[in-house]
Chains A and B, each alone.
Chain A
Amino acid sequence: MTANRQAFIRNRAEEYGHDVWNSYVLPLYFDNLGLHEARKSVVIEGGRGCGKTALLRYLSYHTQFSESRNSIPKSTFETIGLYLKADTQYFSAFTGAGIDDRKWAYIFEHALCLALAEQITGAVLLINCNSERLDEYDNLERLDLSRAVGGFSDNPVPTSIFEFIEWIRVRRHQLARWFRNFEDSAPPELFPLREFLTALIDEIRTILPYLKDTVFAVYIDEYENLLDDQQKFLNTLIKGGEPPLIFHIAMKPNGMRTRMTIGNEAIQEKQDFRKIRLDEELKPNFELFTAELFFFILVKNGLAKSSTPINPLHLQDPEHIKARRTDERYKAQVLSEIRRILPGQRNSEIASSVLDDPVLAKRWLQLVNDGLRTKKSTLNWDQFWDKNFPEATIVSASLLHQSTKTPDEVLGEFNKLRQGVSSRYKEGDWIHHLLIGTILLIYLPFRQRPCPVYGGFDAFVSISTTNVRHFLELCHTSIGKFDNGCDFVNFYIPIEAQARAAFKTSFSFKEEVAGSGDMGNRLLAIVNFLGKLFRLSQGRPSQSEAERTHFCIVNDQVSDKTQEVINEAIKWSVFFEEPESKVKGIRYESSEYVLNPIYAPFFGISYNKGRKLDVPCNQAEAMFTGGVEDFTKMLRQYEKQWSINNPDQFTLGLED
């Protein structure tokens, strides 16, 4: 039956529940991770929306032993994943209230112990969730959990696994009840996590033959949200982790605030844990992965599999990952099909469409005339206008503003190009360096007009960086309701609709920054400030510093307070830190910071990493820790420094 569905509306792992067996597309880096085989702790680091939670849920027992999985290979039993995401608002209250930190640490350990005990027993029950599986595995009645952990409690511990789960649930309720009324009730009996769980696992491994060699791997999600003492406790578990119980964590960049354990030791990378940077893993094949995901989602929403270039089962099978990655014909098919559905325009096409649009052409004319007038030239605008050379025509509008070039020189090169001889437009890379910048400059005052630079699959991939959620939201906003009975061969989204969706999505993710942790409001203010600053730069007619979307800090080291804000901005992917590419003169700082390109469509700036802005240290201090007056002062200062014409100021939208 055909139906209209909002196919891309769900873009968070949380919306898919714990069992993602039917909905998870294996990322193309999956076989490089070695998580199933890991016997030492792994720290999975990744920015927002890169797929950390979905990956951990895929690895957890809910998915691996999912009822939807028909046959379970023996290798699945080698490692059983236990997924735990701490409720931040609950665990962050495990402090103060007249209880000393040491006691809170024991309570946290107990809470974690109960949650994991529930997961371990939950995994055993899920393995035996139906009659076929019971025939194959079972032996549950032989378990004696009282024998295993009875010594940890002053109260009787039930023998059977079914009663034990209930007993754990009651312990959890006791803890919750005490948390609600701890001054009037006695504290619950507390269990030591490692000892309790190891005893439980030992019993399970001894009695159940199918789990005799199993290692239980705990995946703690959102580690960055835990209090410092709680992080120290988990670091201790990482340091002391060994089969059959090991601990992995997932966190945002800069999420590990302390490397200390509860003793005097710190955990070390390589020695105690291996770090996987998920964004780096995702980057090389992000384009193919998002395209595969796109078709997978459409198939799950009722589109005939045969209408797409993918096989959903292959996307979910680890055996096919290598082929997906290396089969060039397959890759070309998938990418060509998605480019048909989300078509972009070549730069020359965009340039032509600008010249054909009366409003944009008028803006071009104004820029050219302003340039000629400023240079006191007697040349005429129409000498720079040739629709057969749209790209060169467009960039002439900027070249005529550049102080190092005369209009005669520019015209000379333009005419050489038209005559088919070597010209700096092509061979000197003028077009290459200035085209996108000049197109954006022409579009800049027309904020509501969809700019085709932001449309097309390739633009969507660039704007999303490695954020799957951003890509899916761009698709959702572009497509809206998808009719799975449509004539798919002729189905595509016009570029204007995509560009409009990019602007809308960009605005909505920008606003979402306010929700980014403790400094959300400040981070949003920083995004607005940087966006406006780069928009000011984008508004310079000469485009001598084209496509400026990143900065570095020069002259001195920033204060600890500023560094803290920068770290937080990186943690929440407000901007990305990269090693500095080109270094001019002497400087202390060796990182550059790229504004997340998802904000580019809203501010009308480039999503490419163009020229860099050097920010003096004292300005960086004000940028990251200052007040609103500092922001205004700095923007005014840059505006003056870059001497942007006043009439454009309103349309630059700095005051919205």
Chain B
Amino acid sequence: MPSLFYIQSGSYEGAAEPTSLAARHWDLAVIGTSANEELDERSKAACTFAAKHSLKNSRMDFIDNTPVIDDAKVTHGAICVQIRGCKNLLIEATTLNCPELLYLIRAAKKEGVKTISFLYLEPEGYRRTLKGSLSDYRDFELSGNRRFRSIQGFGSNLTEINPGHAVFFLGYEKARLGQALEQEETLSEWGMHAVFGVPAFEPSWEIDSMANNVQYLASNQFEARYAGAASVEAAYGLLNKLMSDNKEGAPIVVAPLGTKPHTIGAALFLVEHSECDDAILLYDHPQKNNERSYNIRRWHLYDVTIAD
């Protein structure tokens, strides 16, 4: 079955704005930061690029289970109105999270936008260790609100549907998979898949994500799968393959807990199959933290064409 979305990827080394993107322009750019937010380097660069290369731009967030655009709570219909008439759309994925991506892609699909581009700036690294500290944690990890909560349009009552496949895209935050399994015990009857970002953004990072999740993987009989950490196409393709191999039509739960490109791929898949209970989002709404990354290593631009 042909897929709904066709993805072309471009990667550009270095911190500076890629010269090959200088001529690109979009009708509308959506970024994910508020006006007063203190930004890390890559978010600043990404938002500056988005503003410079678009006719108009909007800020988006997801607060109290409701999408918010330019500080006003909006409905799906209002997002469609915002996008209406645009031939192309730039979604700044460095600063936007999974719920916003889902709402934007769904609206773009409905409004017949031809090309959706996703911008993602990869950092040089993350601040992971605290020298001289006797604590195993960094402050941002202590913040609350890690409850898995579905969002309207992409959720289902998992206790009411037949077990299918649960696909977890994993990163280095070890608590997230554990929390999912603890909070959704009903998944113990599902086929479990763990997707690691291989090749990783940097060699050896995949070892971190495996090591941080290994205790759950061993005891829950996960099938390990791999998709390039920077590849939207690999994540999207992996899910679609699972769907097409799945002759019995069992539902697929997708938990995008890994890299942002994987989250984009998962969001495309969820929008494509969101009409019924085929594809279900499982998501824990982590709080944004702009302090944990530093510098810019690479720029990525993913152009997604929607099939007619």
Specify which of B135, B174, B274 is in contact with A529 (CB 8 Å cutoff): B135
B179 within 8 A of A: yes
Nearest A residue (CB) for B66: A96
Residue-wise interface mask of B (126-142) relative to A, using a CB-CB cutoff of 8 A (1 in contact, 0 not) = 00001011111111011
Q: CB-CB < 8 A to A183: which residues of B?
A: 75-77
Beta-carbon contact of B156 and A90 below 8 Å = yes
Contact A521 B146, CB 8 Å, known A90-B156, A90-B157, A532-B134 = yes
A520 within 8 A of B: yes
Specify which of B64, B77, B130, B181 is in contact with A96 (CB 8 Å cutoff): B64
Q: CB-CB < 8 A to A631: which residues of B?
A: 133-135, 137
Beta-carbon contact of A522 and B144 below 8 Å = yes
Q: CB-CB < 8 A to A180: which residues of B?
A: 152-156, 274-276
Which of the 9-residue segments B30-38, B184-192, B228-236 touches chain A?
B184-192
Specify which of B134, B180, B184, B276 is in contact with A177 (CB 8 Å cutoff): B276
Q: Restricting to B225-275, which residues have a CB under 8 Å from any CB of A?
A: 274-275
Q: CB-CB < 8 A to B151: which residues of A?
A: 93, 97
Beta-carbon contact of B155 and A179 below 8 Å = yes
B70 within 8 A of A: no
Residue-wise interface mask of A (511-531) relative to B, using a CB-CB cutoff of 8 A (1 in contact, 0 not) = 110111111111011001100
A517 to B180, CA, bound (A): 10
Nearest B residue (CB) for A86: B159
**Min distance, Cβ A86 to any Cβ of chain B, angstroms:** 8
- Which 3 A-B residue pairs are closest in the complex by CB-CB distance? A96-B65, A515-B182, A514-B175
**Min distance, Cβ A656 to any Cβ of chain B, angstroms:** 8
Beta-carbon contact of B142 and A522 below 8 Å = yes
A103 within 8 A of B: no
Nearest A residue (CB) for B181: A515
**Min distance, Cβ A574 to any Cβ of chain B, angstroms:** 13
**Min distance, Cβ A95 to any Cβ of chain B, angstroms:** 5
B215 within 8 A of A: yes
Beta-carbon contact of B152 and A628 below 8 Å = no
Nearest A residue (CB) for B137: A525
Beta-carbon contact of A89 and B179 below 8 Å = no
Contact A515 B134, CB 8 Å, known A95-B64, A183-B75, A628-B139 = no
Q: CB-CB < 8 A to B181: which residues of A?
A: 515
B9 within 8 A of A: no
A311 within 8 A of B: no
Specify which of B135, B144, B174, B215 is in contact with A518 (CB 8 Å cutoff): B144
Q: Restricting to A11-33, which residues have a CB under 8 Å from any CB of B?
A: 12, 14-15
Specify which of A85, A92, A511, A525 is in contact with B159 (CB 8 Å cutoff): A85
B111 within 8 A of A: no
B56 within 8 A of A: no
**Min distance, Cβ B271 to any Cβ of chain A, angstroms:** 11
A85 to B160, CA, bound (A): 10
Contact A521 B139, CB 8 Å, known A96-B66, A115-B160, A515-B183 = no
B282 within 8 A of A: yes
Beta-carbon contact of B178 and A172 below 8 Å = no
A651 within 8 A of B: no
Q: CB-CB < 8 A to A96: which residues of B?
A: 64-66
Contact A525 B215, CB 8 Å, known A89-B148, A98-B75 = no
Nearest B residue (CB) for A91: B157
Contact A93 B75, CB 8 Å, known A524-B175, A525-B142 = no
B147 within 8 A of A: yes
Contact A525 B178, CB 8 Å, known A180-B154, A180-B275 = no
| Count of A interface residues, CB-CB < 8 Å | 54
Q: Could you give 10 example pairs across A and B, Cβ below 8 Å? A: A14-B188, A87-B186, A89-B184, A93-B151, A115-B160, A179-B156, A184-B76, A515-B179, A515-B181, A521-B175
A288 to B189, CA, bound (A): 31
A15 to B220, CA, bound (A): 11
Beta-carbon contact of A89 and B282 below 8 Å = yes
Residue-wise interface mask of A (608-633) relative to B, using a CB-CB cutoff of 8 A (1 in contact, 0 not) = 00000000000000000001110110
Nearest A residue (CB) for B182: A515
**DSSP class of B's interface residues: helix, strand, loop or mixed?**
loop
**Min distance, Cβ B257 to any Cβ of chain A, angstroms:** 13
Beta-carbon contact of A90 and B135 below 8 Å = no
A508 within 8 A of B: yes
Nearest A residue (CB) for B154: A180
Beta-carbon contact of B152 and A521 below 8 Å = no
Beta-carbon contact of A521 and B141 below 8 Å = yes
Nearest A residue (CB) for B65: A96
A181 within 8 A of B: yes
Beta-carbon contact of A628 and B75 below 8 Å = no
**DSSP class of A's interface residues: helix, strand, loop or mixed?**
helix
Q: CB-CB < 8 A to B182: which residues of A?
A: 512, 515-516, 520
Q: CB-CB < 8 A to B138: which residues of A?
A: 628
Contact A654 B134, CB 8 Å, known A521-B141, A521-B175 = yes
Q: CB-CB < 8 A to B157: which residues of A?
A: 87, 90-91, 111, 176
Q: CB-CB < 8 A to A87: which residues of B?
A: 157-160, 184, 186
Beta-carbon contact of B188 and A15 below 8 Å = yes
**Min distance, Cβ B68 to any Cβ of chain A, angstroms:** 10
Residue-wise interface mask of B (186-223) relative to A, using a CB-CB cutoff of 8 A (1 in contact, 0 not) = 10110000000000000000000000000100000000
B292 within 8 A of A: no
A632 to B181, CA, bound (A): 31
Q: CB-CB < 8 A to A632: which residues of B?
A: 132-135
Contact A90 B150, CB 8 Å, known A97-B65, A528-B136, A628-B137 = yes
Nearest A residue (CB) for B185: A14
Contact A93 B142, CB 8 Å, known A14-B186, A85-B159 = no
Beta-carbon contact of B142 and A627 below 8 Å = yes
A491 within 8 A of B: no
Residue-wise interface mask of A (641-656) relative to B, using a CB-CB cutoff of 8 A (1 in contact, 0 not) = 0000000000000110
Most chain-B Cβ atoms within 10 A of its Cβ — which of A95, A522, A628, A629?
A: A628
B73 within 8 A of A: yes
**Min distance, Cβ B281 to any Cβ of chain A, angstroms:** 9
Nearest B residue (CB) for A572: B182
Q: Restricting to B152-171, which residues have a CB under 8 Å from any CB of A?
A: 152-160
Q: CB-CB < 8 A to B188: which residues of A?
A: 12, 14-15
Residue-wise interface mask of A (1-19) relative to B, using a CB-CB cutoff of 8 A (1 in contact, 0 not) = 0000000000010110000
A655 to B136, CA, bound (A): 8
Q: Restricting to B252-308, which residues have a CB under 8 Å from any CB of A?
A: 274-277, 282
Q: CB-CB < 8 A to B282: which residues of A?
A: 89
Nearest B residue (CB) for A519: B144
Nearest A residue (CB) for B77: A183
Beta-carbon contact of A525 and B135 below 8 Å = yes
Beta-carbon contact of B146 and A520 below 8 Å = yes
Specify which of B179, B185, B277 is in contact with A520 (CB 8 Å cutoff): B179
**Min distance, Cβ B59 to any Cβ of chain A, angstroms:** 19
Beta-carbon contact of B178 and A514 below 8 Å = yes
A514 to B64, CA, bound (A): 23
**Min distance, Cβ A193 to any Cβ of chain B, angstroms:** 16
Most chain-A Cβ atoms within 10 A of its Cβ — which of B66, B154, B160, B188?
A: B160
Q: CB-CB < 8 A to B146: which residues of A?
A: 518, 520-521
A180 to B154, CA, bound (A): 6
Q: Restricting to A172-201, which residues have a CB under 8 Å from any CB of B?
A: 172, 176-177, 179-184
Beta-carbon contact of B152 and A179 below 8 Å = yes
Q: CB-CB < 8 A to B84: which residues of A?
A: none
A435 to B199, CA, bound (A): 54
Most chain-A Cβ atoms within 10 A of its Cβ — which of B144, B154, B277?
A: B144
